[in-house]
Structure 1
Amino acid sequence: MGRVVVGIAANESLDAGENLHHLSIAYTPSGYVKAVQQAGGLPMVMPIDSADMAKEYVARIDKLILAGGQDVSPRYYKQTKTVQGSYLEKRDQFELALMDEALKQGKPVFAVCRGMQLMNVFFGGDLKQELHSYTEIAHMQNPIPKEQPAHELLTQKTSILRSIYGKQAEVNSFHNQGVNRVAREFQEAACCSDGLVEAIENKPRRLLGVQWHPDFAFTTQPKEMEVFDYVVNAL
């Protein structure tokens, strides 16, 4: 049997900066790629494409990762835009199509940060468009280094995350939006001490979403590498 092929849905930048001659690039943070490799999987980066191509992409992978990035457009959870966020609707459209195909083809999905928010929206949940009025905890931890935990994580007893993180742990945090109403298809798997949802899961459908970034810290925080081991080898 060959290695497990893990598709990583990529992001896009219209200007990669002076060092890359201001080129438009398709990319994914290398933490996803390296962590999947370290867990024994074969990563496949999938650039943003039209929604009708999602079936072919998903057919070529065993598992799907929806990564972090821009805010999810409020139109997909039936709200009016109330904050000036960073949006890329063609990414939303393609990744919603990937999600749909992953379900149809029975492929597991691991969703990180924006990815978790998008997965919740796909199933009918919605988001808090800004967190400043919700909590005093800084969920966007800059300038704290990305590998350093920033707030508490409280896992649910029935969650698979309990076996990795224990009842209580600390994780990093890089988001200015968050899950509000959890879609009915999911169980809340973990939360922050302020009550904000930090993880959702659907075990029968093999869906797991986390709000923090294990891809930022898998080389320095062993539990974050354990998550990728679980995704590649067990999810």
Structure 2
Amino acid sequence: MSRPVIAYVTAPKGDHLLSALVWFVISISGGKPRRLRHEPTSGERRFDGLILMGGLDIHPSRYDASIEVESRFDPERDALEISWLQHARDHDLPVMGICRGLQMLNVFYGGDLHQKLDAELTQNWPNGPLGYTFFRKPVTLQGESLLSQAVSPANTVMVNSLHRRAVRKIAPDFHATACGERGGVQAIEADHTPLRMGVQFHPELLVYRSDMRRLFRRFIKACAQ
């Protein structure tokens, strides 16, 4: 049986190290990776699943909000991801969102975001690449989901955290599958098939762990089906 083709989106320009890492993770998890750099065309080649990666913040206009906190935005990437999410919806393809990718998945289906996290929550979070590399926080799983299947039988899992924005209102027909401190949404999944799910952390940076490898393998298996 041929391996499923798993397309992924990072920043349209640059992101070479992240792209190489995602390529590797997809490959060792049973998929055939393909990076998407341009919006779909009428003769678009087929793929079996879509992964949206982390990156700069989504512009608030995408969820009908004004800018509350100045940040770095990437309108070109916003448009690219929205076009591929539309393609995935039109073709009933599974989708996995990672960090920014979860946020875009939520926004695309009608949810919105907090533009700033609670200062008390983030006061002990690290700054700088070294601090982020080793920082871990607990998230609590909720109900049955692809994430819970991957990390089972654990009820709480330690994850990394590189984000400063988060889901506020969950999109219709989605539900939270993991929450952090004070109930903040850390993972979502669609109520119905095809599989559409997202995590607020970065499993690709935790791929040395068996539970994170299972998460990718289970997603890619769902794409193959």
Q: If the length of structure 2 is used for normalisation, what is the TM-score?
A: 0.89
Q: 1:233 aligns with which of 217, 221, 224?
A: 221
Change (3 A) 1:137 1:90: same
Name the structure 2 match of 1:66. 52
2-structure distance, mates of 1:87, 1:183: 22
Name the structure 1 match of 2:194. 205
TM-superposed CA distance for 1:205, in Å, is 2.4
Listed one character per residue, the Cα deviations across residues 100-119 of structure 1 (whole Å, up to 9, x for unaligned) are 11011011001100000001
> Equivalent residue of 1:83, what SS?
coil
Q: 1:176 aligns with which of 155, 164, 181?
A: 164
Does the CA-based 8 Å contact 2:4-2:48 persist in structure 1? yes
Of residues 86-95 and 4-13 in structure 1, the stretch that sits farther from structure 2 once superposed is 4-13
Greater than 6 Å deviation, 4+ residue runs = none
TM-superposed CA distance for 1:31, in Å, is 2.4
Percent identical: 28
RMSD: 2.0
Q: How does 1:26-41 map to 2 (within 5 A)?
A: 27=16, 29=18, 30-41=20-31
The letter of the residue matching 2:131 is I
> Is residue 104 from structure 1 mapped to residue 90 from structure 2 by the alignment?
yes
2-structure distance, mates of 1:159, 1:137: 31
TM-superposed CA distance for 1:226, in Å, is 1.1
Does the CA-based 8 Å contact 1:68-1:113 persist in structure 2? yes
Name the structure 1 match of 2:6. 6
> Equivalent residue of 1:135, what SS?
helix
Q: How does 1:77-156 map to 2 (within 5 A)?
A: 77-133=63-119, 135-136=121-122, 142=128, 143-146=130-133, 148=134, 150-156=136-142
> Equivalent residue of 1:194, what SS?
helix
- Long gaps (5+) in structure 2: none
The letter of the residue matching 1:204 is T
1-structure distance, mates of 2:61, 2:200: 21
2-structure distance, mates of 1:63, 1:182: 22
The letter of the residue matching 1:3 is R
> Equivalent residue of 1:34, what SS?
helix
Does the CA-based 8 Å contact 1:8-1:67 persist in structure 2? yes
Of residues 67-76 and 81-90 in structure 1, the stretch that sits farther from structure 2 once superposed is 81-90
The letter of the residue matching 1:70 is L
TM-superposed CA distance for 1:43, in Å, is 0.4
Q: If the length of structure 1 is used for normalisation, what is the TM-score?
A: 0.85
Q: 1:167 aligns with which of 141, 150, 155?
A: 155
> Equivalent residue of 1:96, what SS?
helix
> Equivalent residue of 1:144, what SS?
helix
TM-superposed CA distance for 1:55, in Å, is 5.8
Does the CA-based 8 Å contact 2:94-2:222 persist in structure 1? no
1-structure distance, mates of 2:62, 2:167: 13
Does the CA-based 8 Å contact 1:64-1:102 persist in structure 2? yes
The letter of the residue matching 1:129 is Q
> Equivalent residue of 1:233, what SS?
helix
TM-superposed CA distance for 1:222, in Å, is 1.7
The letter of the residue matching 2:63 is Y
2-structure distance, mates of 1:127, 1:170: 23
> Equivalent residue of 1:64, what SS?
strand
